[in-house]
Structure 1
Amino acid sequence: MDSQTGGRGGRSSLAGNATDKALNLLEAASTPGYPHRLGDIAAAAGVPKASAHRIMTNLVATGFLASDGQGGYGPGPRVRALAARITQGCEEDQVMRAELEVLSRRIGHTVHMGVRTGDVVTLLVKVSGPNAVQDSSRVGMQLPLHTTAIGKCVLAGLADEELTALVGRLGLPARTENSLTELAALHADLANVRERGFALDDEENEPGVRCLAVPVRDAKGAVIGAVNVSTITFLETREALLGWADAVRTTAEGLHGLLG
């Protein structure tokens, strides 16, 4: 799994009110690889640069962002403290990790729990398998919706008009030669996801990596993310991956309602 490198493709339409803008800027400034430049943060958040500078100056003053003094920004002490309070001893995190550890031991491969955050998937939990060769995923990584198995689970839960609007805003950029870049092809793939109850990423996001994911739902039944198993293609066959669908489904069903 390779990190999403581009901007948010039309996120400006979602910038919204002052609170939305501040949160989008905070999220963009805190993505891995910081410190980030003001212009890059503003573009990723879909906020005009002048407004971004004004808002980020306040976020630095209040400790939510930190400035390196050379035009770069990253998460500040208040964000780090908030993250620590949320994750340390969090019962939901402990349950997710415990369930994924059981799944990983059972199938002998890396597994993840990821959720939709805006226009991307964010990985919340990763449990690495025993193989020496691993994919490039990490906790906190943001990934496209249309090229990942987790993302396809999310997209399969959307109404057609919502999917069409999202694709119109973001496009379907290729990540590999196997990526689905046409809306009709994506619609057909998502129909398969709904029918069989799981999604496949067949080297569509990262060459040499094949994934299977099963949706995770909130308490109201809406798809919020998915559990996936990630395999290296030269170490495991597609048929073997498909054979673990029921095991992944059992884990995913055990997490329904955990995150809201």
Structure 2
Amino acid sequence: MLKSASTPVPTADRVLQVLAVLAQHGQALSATELMERTGLARSTLYRQLARLKNWGFVLESDGHYAPGPLSLQLALGFDLASHLVRQARPDMVALAQQSHESVGLIVAVNDQAICLDMVESQQSLRCSFEKGRSVPLRAGASAKCVLAHLPKAARAAVLDAHHGPASAERQAALDELDAICLAGFATSAGEVDPGVWGASVPLFGASRQAVGAITLMAPILRAQGQEQDLIRMAVVTAARISRHLTLH
């Protein structure tokens, strides 16, 4: 799990911690910002940045740091090799065409929901969850859906971190996640981005373990009155993708 500034990080993992923070924030960060987000001393941080720059994983410009060209090559290699993306994309395209709305492929990494792939609506007013963007596993259909289907120990760790090990808020969150598992999908309206409605459905691999989710997203005003049809389309598409994943 990505460590917070208050959580000690093993010495050997510090360079990965810096790279993970840069990747997660999607923008160039100053050394001061990186110190705040990693909890590393300035001298330690600069040692890690020097290693990452030397290998091409980080670029420095005007005292700010961002993922470098080797990070982009890793991303390209992921796009070309990812089994989940390759299996899901054709049906995501079909769902976007059928619904006239945007469709995202979401996975849980550490305590974040990350968008692996995105098929955008062709309508002028559309919702989008940028490829590579991440949000905490707290609010929104995508985050709640992937969190609900994590292994119990991983789900409990996230809930403990967010709410504490024993609280009314934690129990309420757990009850909501159990209800999502029972229903087979999660929905939300404006929880992450104002004006955005979403329906997220889990994807299952060969072991019947959840490997991610697809999320159909639309402007709230356009989704009103169409929610059940949109949910049904997303559920059918997720089932089709899951069949592909179990066969390949």
Question: What's the TM-score once normalised by structure 1's chain length?
Answer: 0.79
Q: Is 1:20 the counterpart of 2:13 in the alignment?
A: yes
**Which secondary structure state, in structure 1, belongs to the residue aligned with residue 139 of structure 2?**
coil
TM-aligned CA distance change 1:254 to 1:27, over 3 Å: farther
- How far off its partner does 1:57 sit? 1.3
- Find the aligned partners of 1:150 and 1:141 in 2 and give their Cα distance: 12
Q: Is 1:57 the counterpart of 2:50 in the alignment?
A: yes
* Superposed CA RMSD: 3.0
| 2:27 aligned to which of 31, 34, 51 | 34
2:217 corresponding residue in structure 1: 230
1:253 corresponding residue in structure 2: 239
TM-aligned CA distance change 1:15 to 1:25, over 3 Å: farther
Identity, in percent, stands at 22
- Find the aligned partners of 2:236 and 2:206 in 1 and give their Cα distance: 17
- How far off its partner does 1:32 sit? 5.3
**Which secondary structure state, in structure 2, belongs to the residue aligned with residue 124 of structure 1?**
strand
Q: Is 1:216 the counterpart of 2:209 in the alignment?
A: no
- How far off its partner does 1:243 sit? 2.6
Gaps of 5+ in 1: 1-7, 173-180
- Find the aligned partners of 1:79 and 1:222 in 2 and give their Cα distance: 29
**Which secondary structure state, in structure 2, belongs to the residue aligned with residue 243 of structure 1?**
helix
- Deviations for 1:153-183, whole angstroms, at most 9, x for unmatched residues? 12212466644432332459xxxxxxxx933
Gaps of 5+ in 2: none
Q: Is 1:156 the counterpart of 2:148 in the alignment?
A: yes
Q: What does 1:70-149 align with in structure 2 at a 5 Å threshold?
A: 70-88=62-80, 92-149=84-141
TM-aligned CA distance change 1:14 to 1:108, over 3 Å: farther
**Which secondary structure state, in structure 2, belongs to the residue aligned with residue 247 of structure 1?**
helix
- Partners of 1:9 and 1:170 within 8 A in 2: no
Q: Bigger CA drift: 21-30 or 52-61?
A: 21-30
- Find the aligned partners of 2:40 and 2:199 in 1 and give their Cα distance: 35
1:190 corresponding residue in structure 2: 177
TM-aligned CA distance change 1:242 to 1:38, over 3 Å: farther
TM-aligned CA distance change 1:13 to 1:153, over 3 Å: farther
- Find the aligned partners of 2:36 and 2:204 in 1 and give their Cα distance: 31
| 1:167 aligned to which of 150, 155, 159 | 159
- Partners of 2:141 and 2:198 within 8 A in 1: yes
- How far off its partner does 1:36 sit? 0.9
TM-aligned CA distance change 1:248 to 1:37, over 3 Å: same
2:186 corresponding residue in structure 1: 199
Matched positions, count: 242
- Find the aligned partners of 2:15 and 2:240 in 1 and give their Cα distance: 35
